[in-house]
Chains A and B, each alone.
Chain A
Amino acid sequence: MNRKTNCFKNSCKNFLWLAIGLLFSSFAFAEKSKYNMTEGVTEFSKQAYDIHMIVLWICVVIGVLVFGAMIYSMFAHRKSKGVTAAQFSHSTTAEIIWTVIPIIILIIIAFPATKALIKMEAPTDADGKNIVMDMTIKVTGFQWKWKYSYLDEGISFLSTLKADSNAARQANPTVDLYEVENYLLDVDNPLVIPVDTNIRILLTADDVIHSWWVPAFGWKRDAIPGFVNEAWTNVKKIGTYRGQCAELCGKDHGFMPIVVEVLSKEDYANWVKQQKGEQEVAEVKNNSEWSQADLMATGKTVYDSQCAACHQTTGQGMPPAFPALDGSTIVNGPIDEQIKTVLFGKQGTAMAAFGGILSESDIAAAITYTRNAWGNTAKDAAQPQDVKRIKNS
Chain B
Amino acid sequence: MSHAAVADTHDHDHDHKPKGFVKRWLMTTNHKDIGTLYLIFALTMFILGGAMAMIIRLELFQPGLQFVQPDFFNQLTTMHALIMVFGAVMPAFVGFANWMIPIMIGAPDMALPRMNNWSFWILPFAFTMLASTFFMDGGAPAAGWTLYPPLVLQGGQNLAFAVFAIHMLGISSIMGAINVIATIMNMRAPNMGYLKMPLFVWTWLITAFLLIAVMPVFAGAVTMLLTDHYFGTTFFNAAGGGDPVLFQHIFWFFGHPEVYIMILPSFGIISEIIPTFARKPLFGYVSMVYATAGIAFLSFIVWAHHMFSVGMPLGGELFFMYATFLISIPTGVKVFNWVSTMWKGAMTFETPMLWAIAFIILFTIGGFSGLMLAIAPADFQYHDTYFVVAHFHYVLVTGAVFAIIGGAYYWLPKWSGNMYSERLGKIHFWWSTISVNVLFFPQHFLGLAGMPRRIPDYSTQFAEFNMWSSIGGFAFGLAQIFFIVIVWRTVKGKGTTKATSRVWEGAKGLEWFIPSPAPHHTFQDGAPVNDEHLAHVSSH
Determine whether A and B are in direct contact in the complex, meaning some CB atoms lie less than 8 angstroms apart. Answer: yes
Residues of A at under 8 Å CB distance from B? 34-38, 44-45, 47-48, 51-52, 55-56, 59, 62-63, 66-67, 69-70, 73-74, 77-80, 83-91, 94-95, 98-99, 102-103, 106, 109-110, 113-114, 116-118, 120-122, 168-171, 173, 177-178, 182-185, 203, 207-209, 211, 213, 215, 218-222, 224-227, 229-230, 243-255, 318, 320-321, 348-350
B150, B284, B314, B452: the one within 8 Å of A246 (CB): B452
B64 contacts A185, C-beta separation under 8 Å = no
Size class of the contact patch on chain B: 35 or more
* CB atoms of B346 and A77 under 8 A apart: yes
In the assembled complex, the Cα of A56 lies from the Cα of B378 at a distance in Å of 11
In the complex, A163 Cα to B156 Cα: how many Å?
30
B286 interface residue per 8 A CB criterion = yes
User: For residue B444, which residue of chain A has the nearest CB?
Assistant: A35
Chain B: which residue is nearest A318 at the CB level?
B71
B371 lies within 8 A of A348 (CB): no
Q: What does the 1/0 interface line of B51-91 toward A look like (CB < 8 Å)? A: 00000000000011100011100100000000000000000
> Are B310's CB and A224's CB within 8 A?
yes
* A357→B383 CA distance, assembly (Å): 29
Partner of B346, one of A84, A88, A220, A350: A84
- Residue pairs across A and B with Cβ atoms less than 8 A apart, 15 shown, are A73-B344, A80-B348, A85-B346, A87-B280, A90-B285, A103-B329, A110-B322, A184-B459, A209-B244, A219-B380, A220-B384, A224-B245, A225-B238, A229-B311, A251-B142
With beta carbons under 8 angstroms apart, the residue of B237, B329, B384 that contacts A99 is B329
Do the beta carbons of A83 and B456 come within 8 Å of each other?
no
The reply to whether A253 and B309 contact each other, CB–CB distance below 8 Å, is no
Within 8 A of A (CB), among B320-359: 321-322, 325-326, 328-329, 332-333, 335-336, 339-340, 342-349, 357
Chain B residues contacting A203 (CB-CB under 8 Å) are: 311
Contacts of B532 in A (CB 8 A): none
Q: State the CA gap A8–B27 with chains docked (Å).
A: 59
Known A44-B377, A70-B360, A89-B540; contact A183-B63, beta-carbon cutoff 8 A: yes
B460 interface residue per 8 A CB criterion: yes
- For residue A30, give the distance in angstroms from its CB to the closest CB of chain B: 9
Q: When the two chains form their complex, are residues A70 and B357 in contact, meaning their CB atoms are under 8 A apart?
A: yes
List of 3 A-B pairs having minimum Cβ-Cβ separation, nearest first: A226-B238, A254-B455, A229-B311
The segment out of B104-112, B297-305, B361-369 that lies at the interface is B361-369
| Chain B neighbourhood of A74, CB < 8 A | 342, 347, 349, 357
Contact assessment for B384 and A117 in the assembled complex, using a CB-CB cutoff below 8 Å: no
A117 touches B377 (CB 8 A): yes
In the assembled complex, how far is the CB of residue A186 from the closest CB belonging to chain B, in whole angstroms?
10
A207 and B153 CA atoms in complex are apart in Å by: 11
Q: Are B150 and A106 in contact (CB under 8 A)?
A: no
Tell me how far the C-beta of B108 lies from the nearest C-beta in chain A, rounded to whole angstroms: 31
Let me know if B375 is at the binding interface, CB within 8 A.
yes
Decide: A168 and B377 in contact? CB cutoff 8 A.
no
By the criterion CB–CB under 8 Å, are B377 and A79 in contact? no
Q: Chain A nearest CB: distance from B349 CB in Å? A: 8
Task: Tell me the nearest residue of chain A to B536, going by C-beta.
Answer: A89
- Report the nearest A residue to B345, measured CB to CB: A85
CB distance A118 to B314 under 8 Å?
yes
Residue numbers in A under 8 Å from B332 (CB-CB): 98-99, 102
- Cross-chain contact B452 with A226 (CB below 8 angstroms): no
For residue B287, CB closer than 8 A to chain A, the reply is yes
Whether A207 lies near B150 (C-beta < 8 A) is yes
Q: Does B263 contact A (CB under 8 A)?
A: no
- B482 at interface, CB cutoff 8 A: no
Whether B156 contacts A85 by the Cβ 8 Å rule is: no
Q: Taking the nearest CB of chain A, how far is it from the CB of B480, in angstroms?
A: 26
- Near A by CB (< 8 A), chain B positions 138-164 give 138, 142-144, 148, 150-151, 153-154, 156
Contact B333 A95 (CB under 8 A): yes
What's the minimum C-beta distance from A201 to chain B, rounded to whole angstroms? 12
- For chain B, residues 181 to 230, give those with C-beta under 8 angstroms from any C-beta of chain A: 229
Please state if B156 and A51 are interface contacts (CB–CB under 8 Å): no
Q: Which residues of A contact B287 (CB under 8 A)?
A: 90, 95
Given contacts A226-B244, A254-B458, contact A211 B449 (CB under 8 A): no
Chain A residues within an 8 Å CB radius of B384: 211, 213, 220, 246-248
Given contacts A52-B372, A70-B342, contact A169 B65 (CB under 8 A): yes
Tell whether B282 is near chain A: CB-to-CB under 8 Å. Answer: yes
- B339, chain A: closest CB distance, angstroms: 5
* A85 to B344 Cα, complex, angstroms: 6
- Smallest CB gap from B465: residue in A: A35
Q: Are A77 and B347 in contact (CB under 8 A)?
A: yes
A249–B146 alpha-carbon span in the complex (Å): 12
Cβ of B137 within 8 Å of any chain A Cβ, yes or no, is: yes
Complex partner residue of A89 from B281, B328, B454, B506, CB under 8 angstroms: B281
CA distance A110 to B320 in the complex (A): 12
CB distance B459 to A348 under 8 Å? no
Q: Do the beta carbons of A55 and B372 come within 8 Å of each other?
A: yes
A63, B138: Cβ atoms closer than 8 Å? no
Instruction: Give the CA-CA distance A137 to B454 in the complex, in Å.
Output: 28
Q: Is the CB of A252 within 8 A of B343?
A: no
Q: Roughly how many angstroms separate A183 CA and B458 CA in the complex, as a whole number?
A: 8
Q: Across the interface, do A208 and B449 meet the contact criterion of CB distance under 8 Å?
A: no
**In-complex Cβ contact of A86 among B280, B339, B361, B459 (8 A):** B280
CB distance from B32 to the nearest CB of A (A): 31
> Complex Cα distance A69/B448, Å?
29
What residues of B have a CB within 8 angstroms of the CB of A247 in the complex? 148, 384
- CA gap between A168 and B66 in the complex, in Å: 11
Given the complex, which residues of B lie within 8 Å of A45, measured CB to CB?
A: 381
Within 8 A of A (CB), among B19-52: none
Report the separation of the CA atoms of residues A276 and B243 in the bound assembly, to the nearest whole angstrom: 36
Instruction: Verify A48–B377 contact, CB threshold 8 A.
Output: yes
Docked CA distance A251–B456 (Å): 9
Cα A26 to Cα B20 in complex, Å, equals 61
Residues of A contacting B71 in the complex (Cβ-Cβ under 8 angstroms): 250-251, 318, 321
Other-chain contact of A51, B64, B336, B375, B460 (Cβ < 8 Å): B375
B305-317 interface mask toward A, CB cutoff 8 Å, 1 = contact, 0 = none? 0000111011001
B380 touches A79 (CB 8 A): no
- Interface flags for B434-468 (1: CB within 8 Å of A; 0: not) read 00000000000100111010111111110001000
Q: Which chain B residues border A113 with CB–CB below 8 Å?
A: 321, 375-378
Contact A106–B325 (Cβ < 8 Å): yes
B471 lies within 8 A of chain A by Cβ = no
Does any Cβ of A come within 8 Å of B414's Cβ? no
- Complex Cα distance, B283 from A86, in Å, reads 11
Residues of A within 8 A of B529 (CB): none
* B278 located at the interface, meaning its Cβ lies under 8 Å from any Cβ of chain A in the complex: yes
User: Across the interface, do A109 and B325 meet the contact criterion of CB distance under 8 Å?
Assistant: yes
Cα distance A163–B365 in the bound complex, in angstroms: 41
Contact check, B238 vs A117: say whether CB atoms are below 8 A apart. no
Let me know if B1 is at the binding interface, CB within 8 A. Answer: no
Note all chain A residues with C-beta closer than 8 A to B143. Answer: 248
Q: Which residues of the partner chain A approach B343 to less than 8 Å between Cβ atoms?
A: 69, 73, 77
Tell whether, in the assembled complex, residue B244 and residue A224 are in contact, meaning their CB atoms are under 8 Å apart.
yes
B318 at the interface (CB under 8 A from A): yes
In the complex, the answer to whether B138 meets A320 with C-beta atoms within 8 Å is yes
A211 to B357, CA, bound (A): 39
Known contacts A66-B335, A169-B65; is-contact A250 B342 (Cβ 8 Å): no
The distance from the CB of B16 to the nearest CB of chain A, in whole angstroms, is 42
Q: Which chain B residues in 222-261 approach chain A with CB under 8 Å? A: 229, 237-239, 243-245
User: What A residues does B144 contact at CB under 8 A?
Assistant: 248
Chain A residues, Cβ within 8 Å of B278:
77, 85
Q: Is the C-beta of B279 less than 8 angstroms from some C-beta in chain A?
A: yes
CA distance A247 to B336 in the complex (A): 37
Residue-wise interface mask of B (494-513) relative to A, using a CB-CB cutoff of 8 A (1 in contact, 0 not) = 00000000000010000000
Minimum CB–CB distance from A342 to chain B (whole Å) comes to 18
A-side contacts of B448, CB under 8 Å: 35-37
B317 near A117 with CB under 8 A, answer: yes
Least Cβ distance of A166 to chain B in Å?
11
Chain B residue with Cβ nearest A69: B339
Closest to A257 in B: B459
Return the chain B residue nearest A222 by Cβ. Answer: B310
